[in-house]
């Protein structure tokens, strides 16, 4: 006689249906979460356009966060916490302590509970999702292939839509640009805007492409599929078109980190060299390929500023701006509390977004000395854990797993560096932060199969 599952023995368990669904369809749950974060901003713009108005805060805005809740319930009420790797669990406790402290400070300072809760969810729910994925009883190679494949196939229509958006902006995107009054991405005219596809801006779109490309680096080298190479090239072209310099810098950092750690470095270097030549040809001929001389000149000029930042007025102004913000943060040992900056600030009394354009300064401002210490310790420890896993795989002579671990290190280092521009450990980037660690700290567990 076979034993019944825990859910069958306790049908009145809280959220039993959600837990059972996540357990039965983990791949669908992962795909739906990634799809919700990538597609819902575009769906929201379409709904706003059809409704003939624009709301700075919409119910549709929280759909991506809500999509993470089933995994959080499966992790906690489903009893999966005890299967989380102890080292990863310790990082999670550090993370929870830092952000929990900042949440309490926000409430004690009389801040908006809605803004503080929204900001907390942006950091904590991606963590819960990553921890749940880490408990799946799936070999690391299989888990990696599924996640990397979902991201690459999801990026393909997004890149094609970005090309359409650039050449002929759809009316719902034009309406959103005019109502949101985001002047930094150009006017809503053909060949003049910086495409953002279905996401909330060129920067977020570039982050998504960076994450997709970095995770798929081992698959690019190992695969001889023309389709996969075409998908990878499409992502690179879209990344160039966003003209997000931090996105370009992030991907360059990821490539350097991956080349330093991956096996078969000579072959990888040859492949990346070929890709670099193709990208250079595209940039030099951007005027012809993109439909206008001004477009090509803009991309070339944008690349040229990377080598001479001292003459870049935008960079210099931001540096001066950061100095004042950092001085202000140093004067608040406990921090201002969660929800006073970023998108969450729209839910506060002011109702406006306060962007710092620097993730480290933003965290320090909200979290104070204690919270920032927890934050930085978690980031550093995650990189160290990924490197340790890479070392163990390399020592055991496992080239496929070594390459996967190298890609995870590349993503972790890339996200750390990208924090110099804005928060890159919450929301969509936060999902990548925790999800990639699930690839190297998740493992086969016989105890799971026995349940």
Concatenating the DSSP letter of every residue in 320-339 gives HHHHHHHHHHHT-TT-S-TT
Q: How far is residue 364's CA from residue 357's CA, in Å, rounded to a whole number?
A: 13
What is the arithmetic mean of pLDDT over 248-254? 92
Highest mean pLDDT among 53-62, 171-180, 350-359: 171-180
The CB-side HSE value for 143 (13 A sphere, CA atoms) comes to 25
The pLDDT score that the predictor gives to residue 262 is 87
Q: Which of 24-33, 107-116, 440-449 has the lowest mean pLDDT?
A: 440-449
What is the arithmetic mean of pLDDT over 151-163? 95
Question: How far does the chain reach from its first CA to its final CA, in angstroms?
Answer: 15
* pLDDT of residue 115 exceeding 80: yes
Nearest to 137 by CA among 451, 442, 434, 439: 442
The pLDDT tens digits for 412-429 are: 999 999 998 889 999 999
Q: Which of 68-82, 97-111, 286-300, 423-437 has the lowest mean pLDDT?
A: 286-300
More confident residue, 297 or 199: 199
Mean pLDDT of the chain: 84
Model confidence at 376, pLDDT cuts 50, 70, 90, reads very high
Helix (H) / strand (E) containing 353: none
Give the whole-number percent of the chain exceeding pLDDT 70.
Answer: 79
The pLDDT score that the predictor gives to residue 8 is 44
Tokens representing 211 are 């994450």
Nearest to 134 by CA among 85, 73, 64: 85
Region at 368 (left for phi over 0; alpha for psi -120 to 50; beta for the rest): left
DSSP state of 52: T
The pLDDT score that the predictor gives to residue 344 is 76
What is the arithmetic mean of pLDDT over 212-233? 85
Model confidence at 69, pLDDT cuts 50, 70, 90, reads very high
* pLDDT of residue 324 exceeding 50: yes
Beta-carbon contacts of 226 under 8 Å, excluding residues fewer than 6 positions away, are none
What is the arithmetic mean of pLDDT over 63-76? 94
What is the arithmetic mean of pLDDT over 293-305? 61
* pLDDT of residue 113 exceeding 80: yes
The pLDDT score that the predictor gives to residue 354 is 62
Q: How far is CA 114 from CA 33, 67, 179, 279, 350, in A?
A: 23, 18, 24, 45, 13
DSSP state of 243: T
The pLDDT score that the predictor gives to residue 291 is 57
The pLDDT score that the predictor gives to residue 306 is 59
The pLDDT tens digits for 257-288 are: 999 998 877 777 777 776 667 666 665 665 56
* pLDDT of residue 38 exceeding 80: yes
The pLDDT score that the predictor gives to residue 269 is 74
Phi and psi at residue 348, to the nearest 5°: -85, -170
User: What is the per-residue DSSP string for 56-105?
Assistant: SS-GGGGHHHHHHHHHHHHHHTTT-GGGS-HHHHHHHHHHHHHHHHHHHH
* pLDDT of residue 373 exceeding 70: yes
Burial bucket for residue 189 (CB in 10 Å: 0-12, 13-18, 19+): exposed
The pLDDT score that the predictor gives to residue 445 is 41
The pLDDT score that the predictor gives to residue 449 is 39
What's the whole-model pTM score? Answer: 0.90
What is the domain partition of the chain in residue ranges?
A: 86-450
More confident residue, 441 or 304: 441
Placement of tokens 């406790």 in the chain: 93
Q: How far is CA 218 from CA 10, 255, 263, in A?
A: 43, 11, 10
Tokens representing 387 are 């490197």
Burial bucket for residue 114 (CB in 10 Å: 0-12, 13-18, 19+): middle
* pLDDT of residue 50 exceeding 60: yes
What is the arithmetic mean of pLDDT over 87-101? 96
The pLDDT score that the predictor gives to residue 451 is 36
* pLDDT of residue 141 exceeding 50: yes
Rg (CA), the chain: 22
Phi and psi at residue 354, to the nearest 5°: -120, 100
Nearest to 257 by CA among 438, 387, 430, 398: 387
**Residue 354 in 3-state DSSP?**
strand
Tokens representing 48 are 């706003």
Q: How far is residue 356's CA from residue 279's CA, in Å, rounded to a whole number?
A: 32
């Amino acid at each position: 006689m076979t034993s019944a599952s825990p859910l069958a023995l306790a049908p009145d368990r809280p959220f039993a249906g959600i837990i059972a669904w996540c357990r039965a369809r983990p791949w669908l749950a992962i795909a739906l979460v990634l799809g919700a974060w990538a597609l819902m901003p575009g769906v929201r713009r379409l709904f706003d356009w059809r409704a003939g108005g624009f709301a700075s805060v919409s119910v549709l805005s929280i759909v991506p966060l809500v999509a993470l809740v089933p995994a959080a319930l499966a992790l906690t009420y489903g009893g999966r916490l005890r299967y989380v790797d102890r080292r990863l669990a310790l990082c999670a406790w550090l993370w929870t302590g830092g952000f929990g402290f900042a949440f309490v400070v926000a409430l004690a300072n009389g801040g908006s509970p809605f803004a503080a809760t929204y900001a907390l969810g942006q950091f904590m729910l991606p963590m819960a999702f990553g921890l749940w994925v880490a408990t799946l009883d799936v070999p690391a190679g299989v888990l990696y292939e599924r996640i990397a494949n979902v991201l690459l196939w999801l990026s393909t229509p997004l890149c094609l839509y970005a090309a359409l958006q650039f050449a002929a902006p759809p009316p719902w995107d034009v309406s959103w640009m005019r109502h949101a009054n985001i002047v930094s991405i150009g006017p809503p005219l053909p060949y003049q805007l910086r495409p953002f596809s279905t996401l909330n801006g060129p920067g977020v779109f570039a982050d998504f492409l960076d994450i997709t490309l970095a995770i798929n680096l081992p698959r690019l080298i190992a695969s001889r599929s023309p389709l996969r190479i075409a998908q990878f090239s499409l992502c690179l072209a879209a990344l160039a078109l966003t003209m997000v310099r931090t996105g370009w810098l992030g991907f360059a950092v990821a490539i350097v980190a991956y080349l330093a750690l991956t096996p078969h470095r000579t072959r990888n270097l040859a492949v990346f060299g070929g890709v670099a030549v193709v990208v250079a040809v595209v940039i030099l001929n951007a005027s012809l390929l993109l439909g206008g001389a001004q477009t090509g000149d803009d991309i070339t000029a944008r690349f040229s500023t990377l080598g001479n930042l001292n003459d870049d007025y935008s960079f210099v102004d931001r540096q001066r701006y950061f100095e004042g913000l950092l001085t202000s943060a140093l004067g608040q040992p406990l921090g201002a509390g969660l929800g006073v900056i970023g998108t969450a600030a729209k839910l506060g009394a002011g109702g406006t977004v306060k962007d710092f354009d620097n993730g480290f300064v933003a965290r320090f401002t909200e979290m104070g000395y204690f919270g920032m210490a927890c934050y930085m310790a978690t980031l550093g420890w995650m990189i160290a854990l990924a490197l340790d896993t890479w070392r163990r795989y390399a020592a055991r002579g496992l080239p496929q797993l070594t390459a996967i671990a190298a890609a995870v290190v590349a993503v972790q280092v890339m996200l750390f560096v990208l924090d110099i521009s804005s928060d890159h450990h919450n929301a969509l980037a936060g999902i990548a932060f925790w999800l990639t660690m699930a690839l190297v700290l998740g493992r086969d567990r016989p105890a799971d199969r026995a349940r």
